[in-house]
């Protein structure tokens, strides 16, 4: 995968925070769309999740998105780490504590961040009104912590 500015910025920001020396960020990195196991659950392209961006404060509501792919970032003298590339979902409404997303609303926001910013695995299930097939209810599956 050819590096984009967002991938390079996310890799450098995480390395700075974790006091790691990044490996070669001038060439190519591995892009994973297959399964990665996190806390016993399979994460692959299309998996839904709740997350916080590194720039979000603690009061900011959790974001909901769909995993597009993983990026493996090499380090010098340490373990390589994963960045998640997530397409943010459009939050349509919240009803009785359940978040409702509109899957037909194309989000222009794709974020790249360290895997530690993913808070939980979620699934999208059908909305209870049959005429609203474009709406999905977000259900919690498992925490990543």
Mean pLDDT over all residues of the chain?
A: 82
pLDDT at 35 over 50: yes
In this structure, is the dihedral angle defined by the CA atoms of residues 50, 86, 53 and 77, taken in order, positive or negative?
A: positive
The number of C-alpha atoms within 13 Å of 99 and in the hemisphere containing its C-beta is: 20
Q: Assign residue 36 the CATH number of its domain.
A: 2.30.30
Tokens of 131: 């005429």
What's the total number of domains in the chain? 1
- Range of the structural domain that residue 82 is part of: 5-143
Confidence of residue 138 (pLDDT cuts 50, 70, 90): very high
Cβ contact 73:23 at 8 Å: yes
The separation between the first and the last C-alpha atoms of the chain, rounded to the nearest angstrom, is 29
**Cβ-proximal residues to 145 (8 Å cutoff; 6+ apart), any chain:** 119
Nearest to 141 by CA among 127, 114, 121: 121
The tens digit of pLDDT for each residue in 75-115 reads 777 777 788 889 999 999 999 989 999 999 877 788 888 88
């Amino acid at each position: 995968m050819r590096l984009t500015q967002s991938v390079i910025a996310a890799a450098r920001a995480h390395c700075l925070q974790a006091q790691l020396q990044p490996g070669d960020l001038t060439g190519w990195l591995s892009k994973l769309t297959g399964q990665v196991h996190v806390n016993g659950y399979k994460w692959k392209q299309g998996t839904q999740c709740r997350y916080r961006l590194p720039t979000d404060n603690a009061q900011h509501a959790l974001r909901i998105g769909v995993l597009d792919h993983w990026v493996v970032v090499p380090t010098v003298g340490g373990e390589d780490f994963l960045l998640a590339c997530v397409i943010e979902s459009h939050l349509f409404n919240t009803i009785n504590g359940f978040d409702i997303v509109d899957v037909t609303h194309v989000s222009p926001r794709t974020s790249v961040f360290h895997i530690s910013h993913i808070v939980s695995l979620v699934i999208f299930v059908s909305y209870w009104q049959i005429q609203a097939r474009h709406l999905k209810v977000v259900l919690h599956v498992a925490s990543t912590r």
